[in-house]
Amino acid sequence: MAGYTPATDREQAEMLAQVGVDSIEELFAQIPEEVRLDRPLNLPDGMSESEVYRFLAGLADTNLDAERIPSFLGAGMYDHYVPAIVEAIISRSEFLTPYTPYQPEVSQGGLQVMFEFQTAMSEITGLPVSNAGLYEGPSAAASAAYLAMGQTRRTGLVASRGLHPHSRETLATHAVGFGATLTEVGLEDGLTSGEELEAAVTDETAAVFLQNPNFLGAVEDIAALGEAVKAKGALLIVQVDPMTLGILRPPGECGADIAFGEGQPLGNRLDFGGPSFGFFCAKEEYIRKMPGRIAGETEDVDGRRGFVLALQTREQHIRREKATSNICTAQALNALAGMVHLAWLGKQGFVELGELMARRTAYARQVIGSLDGYELLHDAPVVREFAVRSDRAVEELLPLGDESEGPAPRLPVYPLGRDYPEYEDSFLVAITENRSVDEIGWLAHMLEHGQAGWGEHIHEHDEAGNPVAGAAQ
């Protein structure tokens, strides 16, 4: 059908009669007149399927995606390479379609996925128990707060300003419902202030939330910061980037009671920000208070290895007042993607990937930090992300070119002013294994142009468009 044919007056009258009204206006009688649209909707004629496809393809071509331009955006979501085997496995119908494994005897594949995922997350975080996954990182933060308050019978929450802004916002929102207080601890030279933290933790503090590396990319001394937390009997809760745990001490070895985080870097593409999955690991003493599901290993009557849902702590499975979470899904398909990615990397590959990111980040940090008009926001150690201060307003740097003739594509770095007013002049640069040395040189070149002003000619270029002199390589 090439176009949409509107209903005739007779057909419209018959439809209205079926619902018991005389006119279209009667359908909206309960809506105040001042908010009603007093004219027909401005809808164009309908299009055929092929026309719709061409129209949407044209819209898509106006976007620059991570396949066509190097992305140095991070801030919790990263452009990692996702191996082909991930898509091949998660596209299988037995993994793609199931929901909840209510019948373990016919859900062995899905339950094994959960068990293997729990094992992997427990190993990389250094904590003995893991659940089968949650929605994403920030909701895992809320679940950790709920567990801590129930465990300690306290209502005070303390969070480092280096904790991801989304996690801090989630804690602030849930604190209202929990009847809790949330205290924020500031940063000093890019790191959580130990002095402020010690002063903020009291006998009423249920938990302290830290992040490693923190939102500015700095590697925190979790063990040292945790001493003040433990002295007051509070729980130490750490948000972690899973891709850095191949080279950083896992939170379990630093005294953390709970570790959680965003699973997107493991086997999940950016895909406009989701979907993703969250992970939640803890000490064994908290296993019955953890949110979500936990799969266990057992044997059947014939002695064969099998899997079951060992713990199910949401209100659908147990009495509402005893539930630890109302989350209805473990994001199992996304968690499977993470598990396949980890298996593809292997233990040695996981370490090598962390080392590669650290080396390229150190290189990028040195190159960009040495450019005129830029300086590093802090000198703390980093793994895959770092913060840079600019002499020129960040919003003037971001367009890739002069915007005098219309909007230009945006420079793919993350402006910190969105979440930190005190860093309005700064931005984050994130590195993954997808970012080559040449691409880092391209970013440095673009930043040079942005600092000088996009209309300025700052050096000569060869036939390929590469700078001959003056740009960092």
pLDDT at position 29 is 86
The residue type found at 28 is: F
pLDDT at position 464 is 45
The owner of tokens 């910190």 is 416
Distance between CA atoms of residues 97 and 333, nearest Å: 9
pLDDT at position 357 is 97
Using an 8 Å Cβ cutoff, are 329 and 135 in contact?
yes
Counting DSSP H helices and E strands in the chain, the numbers are 13, 15
pLDDT at position 76 is 93
- Torsion angle defined by CA atoms of residues 438, 418, 382 and 78, in that order, rounded to the nearest 10 degrees: -60
At CA 257, angle to CA 251 and CA 262, rounded to 5? 55
pLDDT at position 1 is 43
pLDDT at position 424 is 95
Q: HSE (CB half, 13 Å, CA atoms) of 357?
A: 33
pLDDT at position 207 is 97
pLDDT at position 472 is 40
Q: What is the domain partition of the chain in residue ranges?
A: 9-57, 84-342
pLDDT at position 471 is 41
DSSP E strand boundaries for 316-415: 374-376, 385-390, 414-415
Reference 229, options 196, 197, 253; nearest CA is: 197
Distance of CA 456 to the CA centre of its chain: 37
At CA 60, angle to CA 268 and CA 412, rounded to 5? 60
Residue 335's SS3 state is helix
pLDDT at position 156 is 97
Helices (H), 64-103: 84-90, 93-96
Helix (H) or strand (E) holding 288: none
Residue 377's SS3 state is coil
pLDDT at position 470 is 44
Q: How many residues make up the chain in this entry?
A: 473
The owner of tokens 């596209």 is 91
Residues in the chain predicted with pLDDT less than 70, given as ranges, are 1-7, 98-99, 102, 312-330, 403-406, 455-473
CATH of domain 84-342: 3.40.640.10
pLDDT at position 405 is 65
pLDDT at position 294 is 87
Identify the sign of the CA torsion 83, 85, 87, 89. Answer: negative
